[in-house]
Chains A and B, each alone.
Chain A
Amino acid sequence: DIQMTQSPSTLSASVGDRVTVTCRASQSISSWLAWYQQKPGKAPKLLMYKAATLESGVPSRFSGGGSGTEFTLTISSLQPDDFATYFCQQYSHYPWTFGQGTKVEIK
């Protein structure tokens, strides 16, 4: 199975900060990577797919990059609504696997 490793596990930041979350795959997944945002008590929400394609309706302050085994999710200017947990997920090979999550909290 492909292991997905996110870093950091927790990120403390302030409104307006630029933040980056990293996701590493244990083997190449080309660009078959998605990012999700989850708030407490809610279902995950798709932010990005194919590593760098923004889902419809997602603010442009979110961006994604990378290919192969190294990927990033960047929020250019953190907004109050962005404090949440973020997960990466590979859909290159079954079984699909998720990263363990990165909690973005208020500094």
Chain B
Amino acid sequence: RKEVEQDPGPFNVPEGATVAFNCTYSNSASQSFFWYRQDCRKEPKLLMSVYSSGNEDGRFTAQLNRASQYISLLIRDSKLSDSATYLCVVPGNNRKLIWGLGTSLAVNP
């Protein structure tokens, strides 16, 4: 099993839709998780941190399922500007971060 695994997509959704991505991780001892957003040809930017069961910020909700070892990102009322690649990150050993390959989202008018 890969350390961090994401469905690459692409997810194509209409404006206003609700979309959810999952990210599975292999290290059951992991305590914190992150979602980053990366626009085309740009650097990744931190979107949300998840330290306990979940986190909510406006239209974005991140949830953690420790039993099944996955985190999810839910986007409600999708906007065109939400089109990007969403990267899941899990801290590893020695201050390293383990990155998923990302899930591509395209929100269509």
- Co-assembled chains A and B: no
Q: Hey, which bits of chain B sit against chain A, CB under 8 A? A: none
